[in-house]
């Protein structure tokens, strides 16, 4: 690919993804079981006259939900891009290798043991995600460990953590309000109080990730080359995996076990603009945010007046894509 074509592809992708993000975010405010027009939205942000019912819908329902979708989508997409680069594994993502499930188990444990302390949930989610990431990292260092082996190990961990979550809910059914939605991933009923602490971790993690795009590029050159350039490969791999765990854990703490965002979105971005992480990471954040907002909007309206948890819709989209990646990976060598 020539430099000119690369710049052209990046520009087109940036404009297209930005336009998509703005379009679906706007639609998410206006479309739902209770319609709110642009006039009412403009009155709210400009300080004009607006009915109490419309104000309540926008401030207490639509705004927290859209913000949660934006935060979760960008966090999971960037976490997926980081994990794929650090492990050099195109099949990896937070949900595939068990990081989401580890975070989910920690959230349920914390909410069961420390009722009324929502600020602890993002911290617990990070701890659970980080522990899982470290286990997967240790497995990936094994001699002759294939990409598929790492994925299978992650699936095994997800199964174990899922059993742990179900056990908690059996012993303490009140451990997490709306646990059924949490286990599949969903944004119904999310409030500002529930996401404010997680938002701090997500925004901080995203800023740090965007600043470390060059480090990911160096890691992708291989251990020998990275060492020759003065990089301590082991430390940076662990640190970047910790950053991915922070992002995915924070998202899980309020959005539940959303799957496949971190798998699908980075692949879509790389297909268009290549593998330069200085470009892939910000575009993945924007596309991931738009993807989750769009999916949540679709889940709200497809079966209206009934609402499907967005995690179910993402599973229908992500499952076939994951199978395709496995088949393609086997075709070109497991590596």
Q: Is the dihedral of CA 315, 320, 321, 322 positive or negative?
A: positive
Give the 3-state secondary structure of 62-77. HHHHHHHHHHHHHHHH
> Token pair 């908690």 is at which residue?
168
Biggest CA pair distance of the chain: 67
Is there a contact between 333 and 320 (Cβ–Cβ < 8 Å)? no
What whole-number distance in Å separates Cα of residue 19 and Cα of residue 25?
Answer: 10
- Closest by CA to 265, choosing from 51, 94, 148, 62, is 94
- Closest by CA to 111, choosing from 182, 185, 58, 31, is 182
Q: What's 192's DSSP letter?
A: H
pTM of the model: 0.89
CA angle 253, 315, 66 (to 5 degrees): 50
> Token pair 């575009």 is at which residue?
283
User: String of b and e for 131-157 (b: at least 16 CB within 10 Å)?
Assistant: bbbebbbebbeeeeeebeebbebbeeb
187 phi and psi angles, rounded to 5 deg: -120, 5
pLDDT per residue as tens, the chain (335 positions): 444 446 788 899 999 999 999 999 988 888 766 667 666 776 767 777 777 777 777 778 889 999 999 999 999 999 999 999 988 888 889 999 999 999 999 988 888 888 777 778 888 889 999 999 999 888 888 656 677 788 889 989 999 999 999 898 888 877 665 566 788 888 988 888 889 889 999 999 999 999 999 999 998 887 788 888 888 888 898 899 999 999 999 999 899 898 899 999 999 999 999 899 999 999 999 999 999 999 999 988 887 777 888 988 888 888 888 888 878 766 555 54
At residue 248, the pLDDT reads: 94
Distances (CA, A) of 216 to 191, 195, 201, 239, 267: 35, 29, 21, 11, 16
Separation of CA 230 from chain center: 31
CB atoms within 10 A of CB 244: 32
CB atoms within 10 A of CB 102: 32
Half-sphere exposure of 126 (CA within 13 A, CB side): 18
What whole-number distance in Å separates Cα of residue 229 and Cα of residue 107?
Answer: 40
> Token pair 């701090």 is at which residue?
200
Residues ≥6 apart with Cβ < 8 Å to 22? none
At residue 143, the pLDDT reads: 54
At residue 177, the pLDDT reads: 58
- Closest by CA to 83, choosing from 321, 318, 249, is 249
């Amino acid at each position: 690919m020539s430099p000119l074509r690369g710049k052209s592809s990046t520009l087109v992708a940036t404009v297209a993804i930005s336009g998509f993000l703005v379009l679906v975010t706007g639609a998410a405010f206006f479309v739902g079981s209770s319609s709110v027009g642009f006039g009412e939205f403009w009155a709210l942000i400009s300080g004009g006259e607006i009915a109490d019912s419309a104000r309540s819908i926008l401030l207490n329902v639509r705004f927290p939900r859209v913000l949660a979708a934006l935060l979760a989508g960008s966090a999971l997409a960037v976490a997926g891009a980081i994990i794929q680069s650090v492990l050099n594994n195109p099949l990896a993502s937070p949900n595939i290798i068990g990081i989401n499930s580890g975070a989910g188990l920690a959230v349920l444990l914390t909410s069961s043991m420390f009722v009324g302390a929502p600020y602890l949930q993002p911290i617990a989610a990070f701890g659970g995600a980080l522990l899982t990431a470290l286990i997967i990292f240790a497995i990936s260092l094994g001699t002759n460990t294939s990409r598929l082996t790492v994925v299978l190990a992650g699936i095994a961990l997800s199964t174990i953590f899922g059993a742990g979550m179900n056990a908690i809910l059996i012993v303490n059914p009140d451990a997490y309000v709306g646990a059924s939605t949490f286990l599949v991933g969903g944004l119904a009923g999310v409030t500002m109080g529930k996401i404010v602490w997680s938002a701090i971790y997500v925004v901080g993690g995203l800023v740090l990730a965007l600043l470390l795009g060059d480090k990911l590029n160096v890691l992708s050159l291989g251990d020998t080359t990275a060492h020759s350039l003065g990089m301590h490969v082991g430390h940076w791999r662990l640190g970047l995996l910790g950053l991915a765990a922070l992002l995915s854990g924070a998202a899980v703490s309020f959005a539940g076990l959303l799957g496949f965002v971190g798998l699908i979105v980075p692949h879509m971005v790389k297909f268009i603009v290549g593998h330069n992480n200085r470009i892939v990471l910000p575009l993945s954040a924007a596309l991931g945010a738009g993807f989750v907002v769009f999916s949540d909007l679709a889940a709200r309206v497809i079966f209206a007046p009934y609402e499907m948890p967005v995690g179910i819709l993402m599973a229908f989209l992500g499952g076939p894509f994951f199978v395709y990646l496995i088949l393609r990976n086997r075709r070109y060598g497991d590596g």
